[in-house]
C-alpha cells in the first residue's frame, strides 16, 4: 500500500500528482495495489485510476496508515517525516516549493543526504522518483536517545541526580 | 542632596544591569552555573508549546522526563486549539491537571500588519509578565515558535529586576539544519544551554550543542 500524507497543510499539487494515470501505471508496475491519500486542507479528491484508492482529510493519528504502508509519500513537514522514519517506512519526501521560506527543503535534503529517504523537489517529480524510493538502499534512521538531553537539563539546572547525590 | 541620591541610584542600577549581563550573556558554552543544586525538587519548570511541529518536537523531548525533578507548567498561544488536544492524546499524565496549562495572546498571527503586531506584542508581554510573576519558574524550556519571545523576555526581566534566577534551555527546531531560526538567534546569547539537532549547526555556532538523535 502507498500512503500519501500532506499533514495539516494544503498541498493539492501532491494529491493531483498521485491522481494521474502515469502514477498509477508506475505504481502497479512496481507491485502496489492500494493507495491511501490523506488530503489535509486541500480540496482535490483522487479518483480510481487503477490502484484501489481511498482518501480522507484529517485524522488524529495516522499510526494505522503508517504501519500498513510499504511506501509513504509525504510532504516535507518535520512531524510527518520523522513519524514515517520512526516507523521504518520507505519514504519519498515531496517539497512544497510554495512554502520555500519555511525551511522544509533543508530538512528533506539533510534526510536524503544521509540516505534515510528519497526526495522530490516538487510534486511534478513524484512519478520520476517513485522507483528510486522503492528500490534505494536505505540507511536506517537511528533510534532516539534522550539520555544526553536529560543529562544536559540536569547540568543546566544543576539538579544533582539522586544516584550521584552525596550521602 | 537629591543629585547625590539620583547618582547613587543610577550607579546601582547600572551595576545591576552590568552584573546581570556578565552572568547572563555568553557567546560560548560556559561552565554550567548549577543554579539549583541543593534546591528542593521538583523544580518549577515552564514549557512553551508552539503549534503543530513545535508541539510534536517538545512532547518528544518531554518523553521520560522525570516529573519528580521537573514539575512542568505549559504555555500555549490562545489561538492554538490543537496543542492541548495533542498533549491529552499523547501524554494524558501531563494533561491531568488543566490548571497547569496557561494561554497567552499570540504576539503575531501569520499575515498580521506590523503596526498591529506592536500592540499585540505589548499585550502578549503584559500577559507573560503576570504569568511569570505568578508561576516563578526556575527552569524555562523553549523550542522556537514565536510565542516564546515574550515569555523569555518576561522571565529575563524578572531575573534582572527581582533577582529570580532562571535556567533557560533553548532547543532549536529539527527543521533547522544550516541556519538558526529567528527565535534561535534572539535566544542564543542569553540561553544557559542551546541545543541543536544537526552537527552542521553545532559546528557553525560555538555555543550550540548537538546531542545526537533526540526525535
What does each of the 215 residues of chain B score in pLDDT, given as a tens digit? 899 999 999 999 999 999 999 989 988 877 667 778 878 889 999 999 877 678 889 999 998 888 889 999 999 887 777 788 888 888 888 888 889 999 998 776 666 788 888 888 889 999 999 999 999 999 999 997 878 899 999 999 999 999 888 999 999 999 899 999 989 999 999 999 999 999 999 999 999 999 999 98
Cell readout for A152 is 544536559
- ipTM for this prediction: 0.90
Domains and CATH numbers, chain B: 42-210 (3.40.50.2000)
What local confidence, expressed as pLDDT, does residue B56 receive? 85
Domain boundaries, chain A: 2-140
Q: How many Cβ contacts (< 8 angstroms) between chains A and B?
A: 103
The whole-chain average pLDDT of chain A stands at 91
CB contact under 8 A, A146 and B174: no
pLDDT digits (tens, 9 = 90+) for A27-78: 999 999 999 999 999 999 999 999 999 999 988 789 999 999 999 999 999 8
**pLDDT band at residue A113 under the 50/70/90 scheme:** very high
Could you give the C-alpha distances from B92 to A119, B59, B75, B86, B89, in angstroms and in order? 35, 12, 17, 9, 6
| A110 interfacial to chain B (CB closer than 8 Å) | yes
**Which long-range contacts link B156-163 to residues 24+ away (Cβ below 8 Å)?**
B156/B24, B156/B190, B157/B129, B158/B129, B158/B132, B158/B133, B159/B20, B159/B24, B160/B16, B160/B17, B160/B20
| A144 interfacial to chain B (CB closer than 8 Å) | yes
Q: How far apart are the C-alpha atoms of B204 and B208, rounded to whole Å?
A: 8
pLDDT digits (tens, 9 = 90+) for B181-201: 989 999 999 999 999 999 999
The CATH number that domain A2-140 falls under is 3.40.50.2000
* Residue B98: DSSP 8-state: G
Q: How far apart are the C-alpha atoms of A27 and A8, rounded to whole Å?
A: 25
Query: What is the torsional sign of CA A151, A153, A157, A162?
Result: negative
Q: Which residues of A touch B35 (CB under 8 A)?
A: 157-158
- Closest listed residue to residue B63, CA positions, set B85, B42, B83, B93: B93
Contact between B172 and B208 (Cβ < 8 Å): yes
What local confidence, expressed as pLDDT, does residue B79 receive? 75
Contact between A77 and B53 (Cβ < 8 Å): yes
- A 16-75 residues inside an 8 A Cβ radius of B: 60-61
Strand, coil or helix: what is B159?
Answer: helix
CB-nearest partner of A146 from B32, B69, B214:
B214
Amino acid at each position: 500500500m502507498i500512503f500519501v500524507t500532506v499533514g495539516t497543510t494544503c498541498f493539492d499539487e501532491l494529491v493531483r500528482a498521485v491522481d494521474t494515470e502515469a502514477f498509477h501505471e508506475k505504481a502497479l508496475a512496481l507491485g502496489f495495489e492500494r493507495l491511501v491519500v490523506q488530503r489535509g486542507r486541500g480540496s482535490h479528491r483522487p479518483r480510481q485510476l487503477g490502484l484501489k484508492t481511498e482518501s480522507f482529510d484529517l485524522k488524529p493519528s495516522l499510526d494505522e496508515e503508517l504501519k500498513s504502508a510499504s511506501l509513504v509519500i509525504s510532504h516535507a513537514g518535520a512531524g510527518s517525516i520523522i513519524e514515517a522514519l520512526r516507523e521504518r517506512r520507505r519514504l519519498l519526501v515531496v517539497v512544497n516549493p510554495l512554502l520555500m521560506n519555511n525551511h522544509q527543503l533543508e530538512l528533506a535534503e539533510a534526510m536524503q543526504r544521509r540516505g534515510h529517504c528519497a526526495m522530490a523537489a516538487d510534486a511534478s517529480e513524484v512519478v520520476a522518483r517513485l522507483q528510486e524510493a522503492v528500490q534505494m538502499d536505505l540507511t536506517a534512521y537511528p533510534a532516539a536517545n534522550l539520555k544526553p538531553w536529560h543529562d544536559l537539563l540536569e547540568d543546566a539546572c544543576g539538579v544533582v541526580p539522586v544516584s550521584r547525590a552525596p550521602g | 542632596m537629591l543629585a547625590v541620591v539620583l547618582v547613587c541610584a543610577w550607579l546601582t542600577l547600572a551595576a545591576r544591569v552590568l552584573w546581570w549581563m556578565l552572568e547572563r550573556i555568553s557567546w560560548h558554552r560556559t561552565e554550567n552555573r548549577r543554579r539549583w543544586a541543593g534546591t528542593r525538587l521538583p523544580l518549577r519548570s515552564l514549557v512553551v508549546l508552539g503549534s503543530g511541529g513545535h508541539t510534536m518536537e517538545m512532547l518528544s523531548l518531554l518523553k521520560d522526563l522525570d516529573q519528580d525533578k521537573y514539575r512542568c507548567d505549559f504555555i500555549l498561544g490562545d489561538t492554538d486549539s490543537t496543542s492541548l488536544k495533542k498533549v491529552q492524546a499523547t501524554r494524558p499524565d501531563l494533561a491531568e491537571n488543566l490548571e497547569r496549562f496557561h494561554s497567552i495572546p499570540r504576539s503575531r498571527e501569520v499575515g498580521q500588519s506590523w503596526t498591529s503586531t506592536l500592540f499585540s506584542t505589548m499585550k502578549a508581554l503584559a500577559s507573560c509578565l503576570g504569568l511569570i510573576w505568578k508561576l516563578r519558574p526556575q527552569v524555562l524550556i523553549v523550542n522556537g515558535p514565536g510565542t516564546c519571545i515574550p515569555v523569555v523576555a518576561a522571565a529575563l526581566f524578572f531575573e534582572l529586576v527581582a533577582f529570580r534566577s532562571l535556567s533557560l534551555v533553548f532547543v532549536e527546531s529539527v527543521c533547522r539544519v544550516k541556519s538558526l531560526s529567528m527565535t534561535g538567534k534572539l535566544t542564543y546569547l542569553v540561553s544557559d544551554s542551546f541545543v541543536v539537532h544537526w552537527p552542521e549547526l553545532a559546528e557553525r555556532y560555538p555555543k550550540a550543542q548537538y546531542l545526537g538523535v533526540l526525535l
